Amino acid sequence: HEVIVSFLNGDPDQPIITGRTYHATNTPPYTLPEHKTKTVLRTETHQGEGFNELSFEDQAGKEQIYLHAQKDFDGLIENDHTAVIRHDQHLTVENDQFTQIKRNQHLTVEGESREAVTGEQVLSIEGSLHVKVGKVWVNEAGTEIHVKAGQKVVIEAGSEITVKAGGSFVKVDPAGVHLSGALVNLNSGGSAGSGSGFGGAMPALPGGLEPAVTLAPPQTISYQALLQAEQANVPAVKVCPLAGASS
């Protein structure tokens, strides 16, 4: 880039850089005047191809803030983070996602909620699980459903309970207990069936954030200090040692 130089009080011995501009070698990252409403901060990858970019689009009706990270994007917030999205949100993770919440989580969905898992899903709760459904609750498994409790299992219905397997069934309703099957055996041997049991794996925790290097705070130069330097004929900025070598 080429720099824009100004002089304190018009003094050529006290130059300051007030801006920069593109030239024929280092051209703007977006073509002009097609993208004249876009403000871009882009840095090229050192010893490689790629770039990091922060850009602002200010065209009416197309306003946008765009952030591009060539590799990783890390963020550290020392206190709260609040975000309000007044329309839709879309998130695509093309590999794995790990989330850890060290205290409580509250989620409220005022419409419908859908979830699709193509592999296995494991839910592990150390406390209690409460599920309340206002209308119909349907569970369907292609092979097996196994319910196991350490002490007791209670199934309660207001009007009817039916257990059905093949052409046989047991039905309990206000009229009584109804058994139907090709053969009903009472205390005549046989054995109870068994389920597969729990075999899920616990989730992995997210990776840690690499701490950023703490930089010393920048030193500011007050306007009064600049005036005092001018009166004492002392340059406020050191002369570049390469300035004399290039002449």
A 10 A CB-CB count for 38 gives 18
CA neighbor of 99 nearest in space, from 193, 245, 231, 204: 204
Give the Cα separation of 186 and 151 in Å (integer). Answer: 25
CA within 13 Å, CB half, 51: 10
C-alpha distances out from residue 4 to 7, 146, 220, Å: 10, 75, 21
CA neighbor of 13 nearest in space, from 224, 220, 226: 226
Contact indicator for 181, 164 with CB cutoff of 8 Å: no
User: For residue 98, which amino acid is it?
Assistant: F
Peptide bond into 241 cis (omega under 30): no
Region 214-221: what's the mean pLDDT? 66
pLDDT band at 26 (very low <50, low <70, confident <90, very high): confident
- Give the model confidence (pLDDT) of 37-53 as tens digits: 999 999 999 999 999 99
Task: Quote the mean pLDDT of the chain.
Answer: 87
pLDDT for residue 172: 95
Total Cβ atoms within 10 A of residue 207: 7
Residue found under tokens 């290039």: 246
Distance CA 188, CA 181 (A): 15
Confidence of residue 247 (pLDDT cuts 50, 70, 90): very low
How far is CA 31 from its chain centroid? 32
Residues 133-153 pLDDT 10s: 999 999 999 999 999 999 999
Question: pLDDT tier at 246 (50, 70, 90 boundaries)?
Answer: very low
